[in-house]
Amino acid sequence: MDMTRKTFLRNAMATAAAAATLPLLAPQPARAAGATIRIGFIALTDCAPIVMAQQLGLFKKYGLDVEVTKEASWANVRDKLITGELTAAHCLFGMPFSVYTGVGGRPGTELKIAMMLNGNGQAISLDKRLASAGYGNLAGVRPAINALRRTETPTFAMTFPGGTHDLWLRYWLAAAGIPASSVKIIVIPPAQMVANMRVGNMDGFCVGEPWGGVAVKQDIGFTHIATQDIWKDHPEKALVVNPDFAETRREDLKKLMKAILEACAYLDDLDNRRKAAATLGSAAFVNAPPDVIDARLEGRYQLGGGLGEHVFTDDYMLFHKSGKINFPRKSYGVWFMAQYVRFGYLKTAPDYHGIANRLILQDLYKEVAREMHIAVPNDDMKPFTLKLDHATFNPNNPAAYLAQHRAA
C-alpha cells in the first residue's frame, strides 16, 4: 500500500473513532408505557442472547413488541440509553460504573444493570511482529513491546474508557510489568479494530469476538491471550436499561429478562451455537465469517502467528451456566471501580457499595430467576481470585487490595 493511501485510511479511521467521544446528551425518560422496546447491540458475538431471543420468537412469546437495532459504538449506545432512544442494550458490564463515576460519562448519570448476558470470550490480539510473545506468556510481552520502542510508541486499542476491554488491557499490561503511561491507549469501535490494525494504527487491541478470530483469519495479527485466561468466567456483557424504563415498566422488563434468559440457556448448547453462528454472521448482525464465529463459540481458537490452536473446554464464551453467568454481582462492580482508582481514572475512592447497590437491579433479577426456577449463586460479596496474576480481591475491603496493587 502506498504511503498516500495509507495516510488517508489512517486519517479516515481516526475521524470515525473520534465520533465515540462526542459529548453526552441530557438524560431523558424512556418511551411511554406500551411503546415498542428498542434494544441496541454492537457487532460482537456476545450480542447473541439479544439477537437469538428475537430470531427464536422469545420476545413475542412473552407478549413484547421489541425492535433490535445495530449500533455503531459503545459511546453511541451510552448516549441513546441515557436519552431513552434505546430502552435497553447489550452493553459492557463496566459502562454503567464508568458513566456514573465520570470515567466515561457525566458523573451521577444512572444506567441500570438488569442481568448478565455472558462471561469470557474476549481476547487481546497483537500485530504479527510481536509473535515472539507467544500465547499467554507474560514473560514474553515486555521484550516484544520494548523492541517496538526503538522506532515507535507502542499503541493499543480498547473500546470504551472504563469498559471491560479497557480493564482487561490495562490489567494485562500491569501483570506484564508495563506501565500504561509508557504506551498509547486509544478508543476504537469493535468492528473497526481489524481494519485499523491493518493500516498500522495500533500494535494490539482488546475486543470481543469475532474480531480476534478475524484478525487471525486475515493474517493481520495473532491471539496473545483470551480474557478467560485473565479471569475465568469474568463478567462481560450485561443487559443495561434506561432507568425510567426500569422504574415505570417493571413487568415488561421482567418479561424481557425472561426471554433473554431462555436465549442464554439455548446458546449454551453447542449444537445451537452452530445454528446461531450462521445467523450472527449475516450483515444485519455481526457481519463476519460464520466459521470464525462458530469456532470460537465452541472454544477452538486458531491463534495465528505460527502458534497453532488452543482449545478451551469449560471456559469458552458462556451465556448461562445454569444461571451462574447471568446473576449480576455487586462485588464485580466494586472490582471495576477499584480498578478505576488503581489505574488513575479516579483520584479518590468512590462510594463502592452505594454505587453498586444503586446501579445493579439484583433484587429484580432474583425475582425473575425464582419465577423461572433458575438457581441464584450465593457467592456475591465474597473474595475471588483472578487467574492471570493470582491476585485476590475482597469486595468488602478494596482499600487493602489497592494498597498492594497500585499501577504505575
Question: Do 181 and 305 fall into the same domain?
Answer: yes
Query: Is 300 within the bounds of a domain?
Result: yes
- The pLDDT of residue 217: 98
Question: Do 29 and 158 fall into the same domain?
Answer: no
User: Which residues of the chain fall below pLDDT 70?
Assistant: 1-34, 407-408
Query: Is 353 within the bounds of a domain?
Result: yes
- Kindly write down the DSSP assignment for every residue of 136-193, as one continuous string: T-HHHHHHHHHHHTTTS--EEEESSTTSHHHHHHHHHHHHTT--GGGSEEEE--GGGH
Query: Is 56 within the bounds of a domain?
Result: yes
Query: Is 217 within the bounds of a domain?
Result: yes
- The pLDDT of residue 349: 97
Residue 27 DSSP one-character state: P
- The pLDDT of residue 1: 42
Q: In what order do the strands lie in the sheet with 155-158?
A: 184-187, 155-158, 204-208, 122-127, 221-226
Query: Is 94 within the bounds of a domain?
Result: yes
User: Buried b / exposed e across 146-156, counting CB within 10 Å, b at 16+?
Assistant: eebeeeeebbb
Please provide the distance, in angstroms rounded to a whole number, between the alpha carbons at the two ends of the chain.
38
- Which strand (E) or helix (H) includes residue 334? helix 330-342
Q: How far apart are CA 279 and CA 286, in angstroms?
A: 9
Question: Do 273 and 385 fall into the same domain?
Answer: yes
Question: Do 107 and 170 fall into the same domain?
Answer: no
Is the distance from CB of 171 to CB of 339 less than 8 angstroms? Answer: yes
Rounded to the nearest 10 degrees, the angle between the axes of helix 270-280 and helix 48-55 is 90
- The pLDDT of residue 337: 98
Question: Do 357 and 378 fall into the same domain?
Answer: yes
Question: Do 35 and 184 fall into the same domain?
Answer: no
Question: Do 251 and 359 fall into the same domain?
Answer: yes
Q: How far apart are CA 258 and CA 252, in angstroms?
A: 10
- The pLDDT of residue 408: 55
C-alpha cell at 107: 458523573
| CATH code of 365's domain | 3.40.190.10
Residue 26 DSSP one-character state: P
Question: Do 269 and 359 fall into the same domain?
Answer: yes
Question: Do 131 and 44 fall into the same domain?
Answer: no
* Distance set, CA 396 to CA 96, 108, 254, 331 (Å): 20, 22, 30, 8
Query: Is 407 within the bounds of a domain?
Result: no
Q: 148: which strand partners?
A: none
As a dihedral over the C-alpha atoms of residue 180, residue 183, residue 185, residue 186, rounded to 10 degrees, the angle is: 170
Report how far Cα 244 is from the mean position of its chain's Cα atoms.
24
Domain that holds residue 334: 21-120+235-282+319-400
Number of H helices, E strands in the chain: 17, 14
393 three-state secondary structure:
strand
- The pLDDT of residue 13: 45
**What is the torsional sign of CA 196, 221, 124, 284?**
positive
Number of domains in the chain: 2
Q: Is the pTM of this model over 0.85?
A: yes
Query: Is 212 within the bounds of a domain?
Result: yes
- The pLDDT of residue 153: 92
Question: Do 128 and 193 fall into the same domain?
Answer: yes
Query: Is 1 within the bounds of a domain?
Result: no
Question: Do 104 and 125 fall into the same domain?
Answer: no
User: Buried b / exposed e across 195-208, counting CB within 10 Å, b at 16+?
Assistant: bbbbbebbbbbbbb
- The pLDDT of residue 150: 75
Question: Do 228 and 270 fall into the same domain?
Answer: no
C-alpha cell at 386: 483472578
Alpha helices in 199-312 (DSSP H): 211-217, 243-248, 250-267, 270-280, 290-297
Q: How far apart are CA 190 and CA 34, in angstroms?
A: 33
